[in-house]
Each structure stands twice: as C-alpha cells, then as structure tokens.
A and B are shown apart, each in its own frame.
Chain A
C-alpha cells in the first residue's frame, strides 16, 4: 500500500492517505517527528517518549477510522498535543509530582549548554513552545493548532507572538 505526500501550508510534508497505510508504517514515518515536537515542548525526553507512545496507542485504538482520514498526521499531532495538554494539566501534574513519577531529564542541561537554539526555547512557557512548534515548525494554522491545545486561536496567537519576541531577544544576531 502506498501513500502519497504533499506539502502543507509551511512547506511541510503532509500525508495524503489516498489508500490506508499500515499502522506500523505510519509509526515509522511519523514517530520521530512527533517525538521531537513533543521534546521541544516538554524539554524532557522521557515525557516526550511517553506522550508519543500514548498518542500512537490512542491512534491505534481507532486506526480503522484514522487510516481512512484525509490527514492522519494531523489527527496524530492533535492526539499527541491532547495527551500533552492532559498530562501537563495542573491537577495531573500535581498528582505525578506527588507520586514522584516525573523522571528528571538530566540530558537537557547538557543540550542547553551546547545549543543556543534549545537554550533560546527554555524561557518560554510550555504552551508558548507548543504554539510555535505547531505553527512555525509543523505548519499548522493557528485555528488548527489552537484546537490541538484546547485554547482559543486568539490565545494561541498571543502565545506565539510572545514566543517570537522572546526568541528574537534570545537568539544571537548574525
């Protein structure tokens, strides 16, 4: 079974599942990208891995319908961001902290140290990071990204705007 690929709004590849693809292929195709997006948002590889797996489990549970969708990738990211939103909701985060179930990612400090781009993202709130990752990096429209994060589009634009200002300030000028 073959899938076709087309460019999304920001020049990103968007899967056009003209014919259903196998879940394993979809996982191989999209797993790494979703993980990196979630890593940028959470700054914790363990959390990003966990959320990525959780998103794929939820997609798998509905794969018969998702595989027929026009853009299963968008559904995957929406599921991933929904998992992030749930996992980083205040109450659940507090519960996780009570259980000491948030493994620390010591690697982030080392990466912060060597990479100015990663360091530049650090001051942003998670929702600001999610806003720019979804819109700037992954090319989703603000309305679409807002739905993924469960916030209003105007709120998302505000987050993105503040994130842009902070990034401009943090990034060295060439």
Chain B
C-alpha cells in the first residue's frame, strides 16, 4: 500500500499548477441558479408555442413530400437462371437456355486481335455471385498487342457495377458473402500475389504467396468456405494478412467444398477423395480418375467427370453411377447442379462444344446452348427464395438515428415516431450491464445498417475501450458484433465494411520506441476481420490526437491524421495536406472526392484539390468544422468569434461554393457550442448538435439552409445521424 501511495503522491506532485479560484465557483453557482429560473419561465413559453404550432400546422400545412427512396443493390436473379459465354458475348437465359439476353457484347475469339477495336468477353469457373446479384467475367482488349484486360462485375441485366484491370489468371473467385472477388494480381513474376477486390473495384488487400512458391499450372485462387482465407495450391492465405498455412489437399487445384463448407472433394493419386475441409479424415470415394467435381446443393452427391464419362457419387453410400458418356475422344466437364439438385449441367468438347443438361438418374439429356462451352446455373445454396433480398431493406432517406440515455433510437427526420432499437443503461446507471452509444455517422451509406457501440460491462471508463461494435438493421436486429477500440465506426463507401481501431492504446503509449504499433481492423458484415492495417512504428497516437480512421472517398484506403493507409497493405503514404486539413474531424471532402475543405492555421475556410494543391481561401477567418453538402454546392461551417469554440459565441453559416456568398443562419447563433454538422439528402436542411452551456443541455437541432425553420429535433443528446447519403 505504502509503495503505491508514494508512487501516486509523486505522480500527483507533478500536476500542472491549476487555475482554481473560489470566485469562479461562486459565479458559476450564481449563473446556474439564474439559468434555472429562466429555464422554468421559458419552459412555459415553449410549451405554449409548441401547442400553437401544432394546432396551426394541423390546419394549414401541406403534407411534406417523401424523400426519394434509397436505390438498393441489384435484385438477385431467379434461382436456376443460366449465364453463359458465346462468341465473345455474355448471355443470361432461362435454365433451359430459352429467352436468352445478351448482357455484354464483344468480339468473337477469331476476330479479336486482328486489328479490330473492341473487347472480347470470356469466363472460366463460376460467374454468378453466391447471392445471385452479380455476374463476374473477364474482358480482353482486342486492340492491345498484349491482350491486356480485366475483370468486369455486372448485374444480371448487364449493368456494369465495376471493372478493374488485371493481367493475370483466368477464374474469378467469389467470396462466400458475395462482397469480394479474388484473382491473381501477378502470377509468374515473383512474388505471386492475389488481389481481393470489393464491389467498388477497389483492391481491399493483396495476398502474397509464400516465398519459394512456384506456380505449377494455370490455376486460380479459391475462397475457403468461411471467407477468411483464400486457398491456392495447398496454401490457405488469411485475408487479414496473417501467416499462410499449408493444407493437406494441395495436389488438386480444382478441389471443391461442400455447400455447408464442412467437406472438401479432391483428386489424389487417381482417386476421388472426400475429407473434412481442414483436410482431416480423408477417404477415397472413387478409385479412378476424377476431375471437375461439383457438389449437389444438398451436399449428398458429387458429379464428376472421369474424362469421357459423367458420373454421380452418393457421398453417404459411396455408390457411383455413370450418367452418360461422350463419343470417343470427347471430354466432358461438369459445370454444376440445378438448384433443385435434380439435373447436372455439363459441357462437351465436341467439334462444336455445347452446354448440356441431364437428370441425375441419367435421363433426359438435352442440349441447352449450342456452341457454348462455359455456362453456369445460379444455384443458391440457401433455402431463401431467390427473389428475396437477404440484406435488410434500406431505411427511407432522411431517417434519423440517435443515441440517448444508453439507448439507440430510429425516428422520422424531425424526431417524431421514435422507436427504440437498442435498450441499454444510461451512463450513470452503468454498473454491470452496459449502455449503447455512438459517435459520428451511424448509418451505412446504403441505409441498410446502423453501427454503434456497446459497453458490455461498464467496467472501464474513458477512451479507448475496447467496446463492442454493434451492427444492426434499422429495426435493431443485430447483424454482428465484435470488440474494438476507438470511438466511432467508419463505414466504407460501399457499405460492405467498417473500419475501427484494433489497437490504439493497448497498452497506451508510454514508450514510442517500444510500444506495439497501432493497428486498424477492417471488418465485414459477418464480423470477420478482412484486413488488419499496421501503422508505421514511428506513428504515435499520443502525438496524433484521437481521431478515428476515416475512409478516403474512393474506398481504397483509410485516412488517419496525416497518413493515408492503403487497404491492400502497401506502404502508408504521408498526406501532403497542411496540418489543419489532416484532422479528419475538422475537414470535409466534396461528394465527388475531388476537393477538400478545411479551416487553416488562421481559421480561414480553404478549399483545395484532394491532394492539397490549388488551395484557395473562400471565407475569412474564424471558421471551424466545414462540411460539404451532398449536392456539392454548399459548405456549412461554424463561425466562431475567436476561431476557437471555447468561451466564444458561435454561429452556423453556409457558403455558396459558386458565388462565395456566406449566409449566417439566424437562430443558430449564440453562446453555445455547436458541432456534428450534417446535411439532409437533398441538401436543404442541416442537422447540428448543440450544447447550451448555461443550462448544461445537449440537443439535436435542424434548420433550413436559408436559415428558416430552426427546430429542436431531439433533446438530451448530441449524437444523431440523418440517413442522407
């Protein structure tokens, strides 16, 4: 006890000299008493005004038009829908090949490279994303002497979602959650690297094959069933960048996993083997050559080719049935099962290759598409109807989410019709069951999800946790939860990932030379960590305040103070912006990501190109916290008398970017703190957090961008978020 006491006393003796004056305490007490009296009087006036307003509005007001709904992602195609490649084009058709629609129009193989300008589309392996929303294929630029090309991801109608360049590989591997694809970035030039790309085309991470890896054949990466690793030639490479591990079934590059991920089928020593997905408990199920195996949707059968004939294995009994055989010298390739598991799609290498289907009892073989070699039925493995959207429906634009007294609420834009979606304890009651809270934006950009924090045991106060990150839908159904440090939760622009501090102060910075480096985790909607980014060891959180990571507008990297940290694991870059603009919390990018607005050292409002060039002052001094409108034509900011929010009066102002005209918003001026500025989706209103110092009260307020109609939205909280992106 004495030992600790002396340590603490010694530490306490180092405290900076305080500025404590009893006169200030007395003044503060007097001011509080005065405010309490004024507040009691004002309450009566507010109640009377509110009742009057409600009465007048109920008689005179026009109904407010609803905000346009948020556009959801593409709807999934119907189960069984066929997609195939034919003559450089991509088609979508009914399961039997009828009603074909060309969704990508390219040059046929024999015309590509003969001076023709255009693209040739092609595919190998699976094209459908597991959820049936997307189709992935490749294109080759016919006029390019080296036939370079890339990957295209479209919806079933051919609307291209994204495209990105890669010169290596053939197949495109969809992640089990349909949010990413894995392809070779570089294969034959060591080190061989695999890129994991999101639906926005941004490379989320790059995986490097172990040193000494020698590609033995033209094989492509495959996802492990749990989506945490990519499998290649016997190596499982975790997408979070941790150490690759070797798998026992490395010999067969076309090993396939059962629909539930528990089993793997592969060829070894001229036998078809089935093992647990980790390679344990292998057993030979067919003593002969077997390739291109495919699991039935129910996982009880495997279709495979022994070269010239098509066979079906009953996994439980080991019984093998021959379904059909090609003519001598004709190879057969299994493409997959129908969603019902009653038919098998396969292709032949006849002189004019074709897609065929056949019943699992060997009956009713029929040609589906003449001339096509690559095709696939959409065979979803879930029981959900194909037309159902597995993701939660997006909330209406403008919907308000806010945290209050340990709970999370969702309400109409004006705060009405509030529904509590998470029920926690307020701070003061937080003993062993915790409260919910949030900081910064809560809504995912697509409006389907909310992210907030939960202090599970209330056992640690103050930053930085760890506290649970909770991701739920707008009704409070929890999608996932995982622990993390830091404060806010940063949504990726495509709403498929969040970024949070994995390690910031663990332990806190004591010795900048020996502390473990700070790390940022990028987590998917299933709660798994997709990538962990390590900041340079010289980066010190202590020197760099406590900003949370923020996504760069293109979604390819994160920004932490003066660092841009690429998600693909490449070296972080020092941002060239001036110091004030480096605080993610006090600068703002334009909606198209091309410009940044920030308050400079003199508290002047500056607009510059995103890289910091072409900086120009657009408003005079005393500016803090500029925020771009979603329409890009306005910037809202706080005007503060001293260019600082402490002990000065603040005013909300709006700059017209085109004209430079600044409009003070009357009603949002006074001796209170304001912050948390955000625009409505249409850019016509602004939501702010306001703290009234005298009354010690927080509130969410909204006001028109022309300064009209200021109104209290929610009292008692500063944490709110309009779905406005």
Spell out A's residues near B (CB within 8 Å): 10, 23-24, 27-28, 31-32, 35-37, 39-40, 42, 45, 48-49, 52-53, 56-57, 60-61, 85-86, 88-95, 97-101, 103-104, 107, 109, 111-112, 114-115, 117-123, 125-128, 132-133, 136-137, 150-152, 155, 158-159, 164, 167, 170-171
Interface residues in B707-725 by Cβ distance below 8 A to A read 717-719
- B13-21, B188-196, B294-302, B589-597: which lies at the interface: B13-21
Interface residues in B424-453 by Cβ distance below 8 A to A read 426-428, 430-432, 435, 437-440, 453
- In the complex, the answer to whether B510 meets A123 with C-beta atoms within 8 Å is yes
CA distance A150 to B429 in the complex (A): 8
- In the complex, the answer to whether B437 meets A91 with C-beta atoms within 8 Å is yes
CA distance A156 to B209 in the complex (A): 49
Q: Which residues of B contact A167 (CB under 8 A)?
A: 4, 7
- In the complex, the answer to whether A125 meets B586 with C-beta atoms within 8 Å is no
Q: How many residues of B contact A (CB 8 A)?
A: 72
Interface residue B24 (Cβ < 8 Å from any Cβ of A): yes
The smallest C-beta distance from A118 to any residue of chain B, in angstroms, reads 5
Q: Which residues of B contact A151 (CB under 8 A)?
A: 431, 458-459
Contacting residue for A35 out of B18, B439, B645, CB 8 A: B18
Q: Which residues of A contact B428 (CB under 8 A)?
A: 85-86, 89, 150
Q: Which residues of B contact A36 (CB under 8 A)?
A: 12-13, 15
Q: Which residues of B contact A126 (CB under 8 A)?
A: 460-462
The smallest C-beta distance from B686 to any residue of chain A, in angstroms, reads 15
A-B contact pairs, 26 of them (CB 8 A): A32-B18, A39-B16, A52-B18, A53-B25, A56-B22, A57-B32, A60-B26, A86-B428, A88-B461, A88-B462, A90-B430, A91-B717, A93-B462, A94-B403, A94-B438, A95-B689, A98-B440, A100-B625, A112-B510, A115-B10, A120-B11, A121-B8, A132-B8, A136-B1, A137-B5, A158-B459
Spell out B's residues near A (CB within 8 Å): 1, 4-5, 7-16, 18-20, 22, 24-26, 28-29, 32, 403-406, 426-428, 430-432, 435, 437-440, 453, 455, 458-463, 467, 487, 507-510, 542-543, 545-546, 585-586, 624-625, 645-646, 673-676, 689, 691, 698, 717-719
Q: Which residues of B contact A101 (CB under 8 A)?
A: 645-646, 673, 675, 691
Q: Which residues of A contact B675 (CB under 8 A)?
A: 98-101
Contacting residue for B717 out of A95, A117, A128, CB 8 A: A95
**Which of B8, B19, B439, B691 gathers the greatest number of chain A CB atoms within 10 Å?**
B8
- In the complex, the answer to whether B25 meets A27 with C-beta atoms within 8 Å is yes
- In the complex, the answer to whether A125 meets B438 with C-beta atoms within 8 Å is no
CA distance A117 to B543 in the complex (A): 20
- In the complex, the answer to whether A98 meets B403 with C-beta atoms within 8 Å is no
The smallest C-beta distance from B88 to any residue of chain A, in angstroms, reads 55
- In the complex, the answer to whether A155 meets B459 with C-beta atoms within 8 Å is yes
CA distance A85 to B462 in the complex (A): 9
